[in-house]
Amino acid sequence: MYTRADRVRQIDRLIGSIRATGSPSAIGLDTRYEYIPEDFAARHSDGGRAGAIYEFNARLLRGLRDIIPCVKIQAAYYEMLGPDGMSCMAKTIAEARALDYVVIVDAKRGDIGATAEAYSAAYLGTDAPFRADFLTVNPYFGRDGVEPFISACERDGSGVFILVKTSNPSGRELQDLTLADGGPMYERLAGMVSEWGAPLMGSEGYSSVGAVVGATYPVQGADLRRMMPHTFFLLPGYGAQGARASDLAGCFDASGGGAVVAAARSLICAHRKTAAADFVRAARDEALNMRDRLLEAIRHARPR
C-alpha cells in the first residue's frame, strides 16, 4: 500500500529534472503527419498516419532525453486522427513515461464539476488511460470546475497548469479586460490560481497548481512572476510563435527557476531548416541552441 508520504510530487520531480538536464525546456509534440520527413513516414506507414507519428515521436523522445527533461503533448493533434490518434497519444505518453520524462498533456480541458471529474479521470491518477504528470486546464468555469483536477493532484501528486495568460494575439480580448475594481481580468485569475495552489506546496517552494503564461507577453509575464511567487509557469510561444529567449527571462525567479519553456515546431520541424543527417540530430542541435539561449537570457536578467 502506498501512503501520502511515499508519493512524489510531480512539481518537485519537474524541478529536479530541469536541474539534472540543465535545461528548463519541454519538447512540444504537436506532431502533424506533414511534419515527418517523407522517407521516414514511408518506412513507418504500416500503422497509418498515427503509426508513423508514434514512431517519429518515439525517436525524438529517445534521442533527446539527456538534454530535455519534459515533454508537452498537444491533445488536439491526436484527436484529429480519431480513435487511432488517441491510441497514438496513449502510446506516446507511455514511451515518454518509460524514458522518465515529466509528461505534460496539453488538453486545456474544463467543464462543470461532474464533467471535470470525468476529464480528470481521463488524464490524472494511476488509472487514467492518458496518464499525465501535469494537465493543462481552462479556468472559465471557476473554482468548482477546477476542483476535481486539484483533488486528483492532491491524491496522486500530479499537477495542473491553469491558463492565466495565453500566448495568442487575441487572448487579450477577454483576459485583459479591465475590471471595475482595477486591473486586468488575468491578474484576478492569477490571484485565484495562487489561492487554489496554496495547499499543494512542494518541497522546492512551488505548488502543484501551476499557470500557463504566454511567452509572447514579456512585461505581463514578469508582473505575474512577482505576483505569483509560488506558482510554476509553463511558457508556450517560444520559437515558431515568435517569443525569443530574452522575452522569457522575466518569467523566471531570482535563482533562474520557476518556469519551463515549451517549444514544438522549432524542435520537431528543425530538420526542415538544417543539413543535419536526420530529424533527431536536427532537433538535438536546436534543443541545445535553445538551452544555451535560455540560460544566457536568464543569467543576463539576474543581478550579479
Residues annotated as catalytic are: 108
- Map the footprint of a copy of itself across residues 208-237, applying CB under 8 A: none
Give the number of other Cβ atoms within 10 Å of residue 216's Cβ.
23
- Map the footprint of a copy of itself across residues 63-92, applying CB under 8 A: 74, 76-77, 79-87, 90
Amino acid in the structure at residue 13: R
Give the number of other Cβ atoms within 10 Å of residue 79's Cβ.
13
Contact call for residues 54 and 47 (beta carbons, < 8 A): yes
Does 300 contact a copy of itself by CB under 8 A?
no
Does 110 contact a copy of itself by CB under 8 A?
yes
Extract the C-alpha cell encoding 265.
515546431
The residues, ordered by sequence, that sit 6+ positions from 145 with a Cβ below 8 Å of its Cβ are: 110, 111, 112, 113, 116, 139
Candidate list 59, 155, 188, 293; residue touching a copy of itself; CB under 8 A: 188
Binding-residue total with a copy of itself (CB under 8 A): 61
Candidate list 130, 217, 232, 252; residue touching a copy of itself; CB under 8 A: 130
Q: Work out how close the CB of 83 gets to a copy of itself at its nearest, in angstroms, rounded to a whole number.
A: 4
Does 94 contact a copy of itself by CB under 8 A?
no
Q: CB-wise, 12 or 111, nearer to a copy of itself?
A: 111
Place of cell 491578474: 187
Q: Work out how close the CB of 183 gets to a copy of itself at its nearest, in angstroms, rounded to a whole number.
A: 9
Does 207 contact a copy of itself by CB under 8 A?
no
Cα 142 from chain centre: 21
Contact call for residues 179 and 185 (beta carbons, < 8 A): yes
Contact call for residues 233 and 186 (beta carbons, < 8 A): no
For every residue of 10-23, DSSP letters joined together read HHHHHHHHHHHHT-
Does 185 contact a copy of itself by CB under 8 A?
yes
d(CA 249, CA 117): 36
Q: Work out how close the CB of 75 gets to a copy of itself at its nearest, in angstroms, rounded to a whole number.
A: 9
Q: CB-wise, 59 or 172, nearer to a copy of itself?
A: 172
For residue 148, the 8-state DSSP code is H
Does 189 contact a copy of itself by CB under 8 A?
yes
Candidate list 22, 129, 229, 242; residue touching a copy of itself; CB under 8 A: 129
Q: CB-wise, 99 or 122, nearer to a copy of itself?
A: 122
Among candidates 66, 68, 59, which has minimal Cα distance to 28?
Answer: 68
Residues forming the site for a copy of itself (CB under 8 A): 30, 32, 74, 76-77, 79-87, 90, 108-116, 118-119, 121-122, 128-130, 138-145, 163, 166-175, 177-182, 185, 188-189, 192, 241
